[in-house]
Amino acid sequence: MGAAVAVLLSLWLALAAAPATAQGVFVVDGIRVDATAADANAAREVALAAGTREAYRKLLEQIVPREYHTRLPDPRAPDLTGMVFSLQVENERTSLTRYLANLTVNFRRDAIRALLQRSQVPFAETASRPVLIVPVYNAAGATLLWDDPNPWRQAWTFARDRNSLSPMVLANGDLTDVGLISAAQAAGGDRSRLSAIAQRYGVEDVLVAQANLRFEIGSRIPSIDIVLRRFGPSGEGTTVEAYRGGDAEPVQALLTRAVESIVTGIEERWKREHLLAFGNEAVLSANVPLATLGDWIGIRQRLERAPEIKAVELAEISTTSAQVLLRYFGAAGSLVTALAQRGLVLSESGGYWTLSLRPGAPDFN
């Protein structure tokens, strides 16, 4: 056996023996706790217990489709504590009887999986690639993007910093953004400009959300017509939606309601399309072309983080390629989509599968 192949095999064994990195999906941050009790220590215990349960609820609502939320299990406090991998506490403040802090809770994936499977509650774990939101607003004859105020852009702050399987990024709207793309270029779908601003934020997919405000003649009730155009390697398409204001509903409230409906709709569709099918296991053999040792390491790390993958087994390896067996849940088509979210291309031709790193795929953390 050549020295290069021996090195590859030794690295394979090291990676196989190492524990899998905790899934980002199972980390819930932004939990603010505030509790009062007989003394500061008692208040801290109450706050941490309540914060952990709030994080647990947020996690399950993130990965379980909304129609199953009434069936979410409610574990006892000791069982819930056992599902926590780590707890990070920041900005602690105490008085004689009060405790305040911010929590980040990292849950054990296997424990959460087992609980939901026992409860027969379907769930998804695959996160989509982040999408950059570019909100164009047409009102009173003006087309706004980076202008201040832009009430449509303000409404999209709802999508920012959410714990979601469909993460969205909202541009800062600073001078750099102003120089990268204008409202007219965004509305016109200028791909070079959209690519430029996407690159700035480290994403590949862009959603141009264009809202047109109008008022009904006579009643002056506001309505908005919305065109959502997606650009990027995850797929391109256009969706049209419309929302009518309620009696005496302010325009800003209507815009916010529309964004909440759009965002939750995207999240729910994604979850339903990527439910894990634990009862449907299959095996797929794929050839992995290797140009460098780093290619394999990068591909292996991405595979380890794919929830649809149960196990990765090495059949053969050389300095130019590897043959792997992928044991996975669900259908092959779903696996192709899930791996694409991690910058991997799984393709089939003539009955043979090939797995490779997509050119230009961003670094995967």
What is residue 13's predicted lDDT score, i.e. its pLDDT?
A: 37
What would the pLDDT profile of 185-236 be if each residue is shown by its tens digit? 999 999 999 999 999 999 999 999 999 999 988 888 999 999 999 999 888 8
What would the pLDDT profile of 322-350 be if each residue is shown by its tens digit? 899 999 988 888 899 889 888 899 999 88
Domain spanning 24-118 has what CATH number? 3.10.28
DSSP E strand boundaries for the chain: 27-36, 84-94, 98-107, 131-139, 142-144, 168-170, 205-215, 222-231, 237-244, 281-289, 309-317, 321-329, 344-349, 352-357
131-273 folds as: Rossmann fold (3.40.50)
Residue 216 tokens read as 């009904």
Bridging pattern class, strands 168-170 and 131-139? parallel
What is residue 247's predicted lDDT score, i.e. its pLDDT?
A: 85
CATH 3.10.28 domain extents, the chain: 24-118
What is residue 363's predicted lDDT score, i.e. its pLDDT?
A: 65
- Positions in the chain whose pLDDT score sits under 50: 1-22
What is residue 291's predicted lDDT score, i.e. its pLDDT?
A: 85
What is residue 211's predicted lDDT score, i.e. its pLDDT?
A: 97
If one counts every other C-beta atom within 10 angstroms of the C-beta of residue 196, the result is: 15
CATH 3.40.50 domain extents, the chain: 131-273
What is residue 176's predicted lDDT score, i.e. its pLDDT?
A: 97
